[in-house]
């Protein structure tokens, strides 16, 4: 964490008792409490990390010292807590989670009254209070109260069911393998799917904050056991959640891992068939696949900068009902405009029941793209100049400059070049209709970026 910066792309994150300590959590609680104002009602909950309870209590101490009343929901997926903030008409909330980071990390994020994370501008206000020690300390008679709020996980499961055809899914008797990463996804997803009439095989279902089963990021290298289990038991679907269960990655019935851009496109297509002329919000890092789907099924893509909060905020702004990211985050507005792993799973089961198709078939009928990634070293102070030079070179071409430069070529290939927010590098995401072309794009732009850097 830099000296006057607390929040990163997704809230405050750090290694427990090294970068993020209980003392800091009390101060963060005081800052968030001061930001919301006395007598405001805030929900607090945490994921399954070993430090979850410790940080929740420290944050609650700060919030109540600032005069805010706390409803404590305990352990729950991030989307269940976000839903509870809205459902219980709270003024906001605080979630203790480090999402997909390894077990030694934890984090804190502030939630607005609609369940969406506070904006980056609001985070800056909270940071200002924190670094200037400008806390509101309530008088002893004005301290906030703390009450338990049981049942948020059950309410969340009930709410999701309202958005799918429960009877139609149940009639299919799907067999689903659920990999909950030993975290909070296991508190809701298996229950939801059982209520949808599915047969469940569970992996890493017991809560264990050391995450003994696998690392909580649902990347292919962490999902080998899920893929082989789906095949071994002959399941219709496999699903893996990240540490706080807002993202989900799926495995089809053949045991193939289908990355987030593909399943998002499956959901977007069905959504557009039912809701033509709708807007779909997605960051510029998403595959051209989503653009193809939007063009084919009468949708409009609204591109954003990379980051889930940006997608949520943009969905609110343009009144879009669907958003998605390539990392397995799908935002279903009719439920809530935030990433939601269990909602995404229910939507996919609904589509499989409705179309009678397997996931492998649903993915295979989409346009296919090959994706390659790369990076080039670039000192922080040269990033802006390099971006300017790049844009100069591509003047007159089809370039999106929302976040770095995304360049589309005539053969339907594209490359996104963006300065990393955390490392002295420029990141590259290429995609093309052939693997060879994607590889070539990365090679070509590695040379180009290095040549341009040499002139700065
Ligand atoms: Mg997450």
CA of 99 to the centre of ligand 1 (A): 4
Instruction: Give yes or no for residue 2 having a pLDDT over 60.
Output: no
DSSP β-bridge partners for residue 240:
179, 249
CATH architecture of 12-150: 3-Layer(aba) Sandwich (3.40)
Angstrom distance (rounded) from CA 28 to CA 43: 15
When mean pLDDT is compared across 190-199, 211-220, 421-430, the lowest value belongs to 421-430
Q: Where are the domains of the chain?
A: 12-150, 155-257, 260-339+357-364, 370-453
Q: How does the average pLDDT of the chain come out, rounded?
A: 96
Q: Which helix (H) or strand (E) holds 110?
A: strand 105-111
Tell how far the Cα of 448 is from the centroid of ligand 1, in angstroms: 35
Residue-level pLDDT at 420: 84
Which of 316, 356, 366, 317 is closest to 338 using CA atoms? Answer: 316
Q: Which of 31, 51, 61, 99 is catalytic?
A: 99
pLDDT digits (tens, 9 = 90+) for 22-57: 999 999 999 999 999 999 999 999 999 999 999 999
Domain covering 370-453 assigned CATH 3.30.310.50 in the classification = yes
pLDDT band at 204 (very low <50, low <70, confident <90, very high): very high
**DSSP bridge partners of 132:** none
Q: Domain spanning 155-257 has what CATH number?
A: 3.40.120.10
What does CATH list as the number for 260-339+357-364?
3.40.120.10
- Could you give the percent of the chain with pLDDT greater than 70? 99
* pLDDT value at 181 more than 60: yes
Contact between residue 178 and residue 190 where contact means Cβ atoms under 8 Å apart: yes
Cα 77 to middle of ligand 1, angstroms: 9
Cα(394) to ligand 1 centroid in Å equals 35
Q: Is the entire prediction scored with pTM above 0.85?
A: yes
Say how many Å lie between the CA of residue 116 and the centre of ligand 1.
14
Domain 155-257 and domain 260-339+357-364, same fold? Reply is yes
Question: Is 99 marked active-site?
Answer: yes
Secondary structure letter of residue 402 according to DSSP? S
Q: How many A from CA of 81 to the centre of ligand 1?
A: 13
Give me the numbers of helices (H) and strands (E) for the chain, helices first please: 15, 20
For residue 451, the surrounding DSSP H or E stretch is helix 435-454
User: From ligand 1's centre to the CA of 413, what distance in Å?
Assistant: 29
The closest alpha carbon to 62, from 30, 95, 110, belongs to 30
């Amino acid at each position: 964490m830099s000296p006057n910066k607390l929040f990163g792309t997704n809230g405050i994150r750090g290694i427990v008792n090294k970068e993020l300590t209980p003392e800091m959590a009390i101060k963060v609680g005081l800052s968030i409490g001061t930001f919301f104002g006395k007598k405001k009602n805030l929900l607090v909950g945490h994921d399954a990390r070993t430090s979850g309870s410790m940080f929740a209590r420290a944050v609650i101490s700060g919030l109540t010292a600032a005069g805010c009343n706390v409803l404590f929901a305990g352990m729950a997926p991030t989307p269940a807590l976000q839903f509870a903030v809205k459902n219980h008409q709270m003024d906001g909330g605080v979630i203790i989670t480090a999402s997909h980071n390894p077990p030694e990390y934890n984090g804190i994020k502030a939630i607005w009254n609609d369940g969406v994370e506070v904006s980056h501008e609001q985070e800056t206000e909270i940071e200002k209070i924190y670094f200037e020690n400008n806390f509101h300390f309530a008088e002893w008679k004005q301290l906030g109260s703390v009450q338990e709020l049981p049942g948020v996980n059950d309410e969340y499961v009930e709410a999701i069911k309202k958005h799918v055809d429960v009877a139609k899914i149940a009639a299919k008797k799907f067999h689903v393998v659920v990999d909950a990463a030993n975290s909070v996804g296991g508190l809701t997803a298996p229950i939801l799917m059982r209520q949808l009439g599915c047969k469940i095989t569970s992996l890493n279902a017991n809560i264990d904050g050391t995450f003994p089963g696998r690392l909580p990021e649902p990347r292919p290298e962490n999902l080998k056991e899920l893929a082989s289990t789906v095949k071994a038991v002959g399941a219709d679907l496999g699903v893996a959640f990240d540490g706080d269960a807002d993202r989900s990655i799926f495995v089809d019935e053949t045991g193939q891992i289908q990355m987030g851009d593909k399943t998002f496109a499956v959901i977007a297509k069905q959504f557009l068939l039912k809701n033509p002329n709708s807007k779909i919000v997605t960051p510029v890092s998403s595959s051209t696949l989503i653009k193809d789907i939007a063009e084919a099924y009468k949708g409009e893509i609204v591109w954003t900068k990379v980051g889930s909060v940006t997608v949520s905020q943009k969905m609110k702004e343009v009144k879009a009902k669907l958003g998605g990211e390539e990392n397995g985050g799908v935002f279903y507005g009719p439920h809530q405009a935030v990433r939601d792993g269990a909602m995404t799973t229910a939507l996919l089961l609904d589509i499989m029941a409705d179309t009678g198709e397997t996931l492998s078939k649903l993915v295979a009928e989409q346009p296919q793209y090959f994706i390659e990634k790369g990076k080039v070293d670039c000192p922080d102070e040269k990033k802006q100049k390099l971006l300017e030079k790049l844009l100069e070179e591509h003047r007159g071409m089809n370039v999106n400059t929302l976040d770095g430069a995304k360049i589309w070529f005539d053969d339907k290939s594209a490359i996104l070049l963006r300065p990393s927010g955390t490392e002295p590098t420029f990141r590259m995401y290429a995609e093309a209709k052939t693997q060879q072309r994607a590889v070539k794009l990365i090679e070509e732009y590695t040379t180009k970026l290095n040549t341009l850097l040499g002139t700065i």
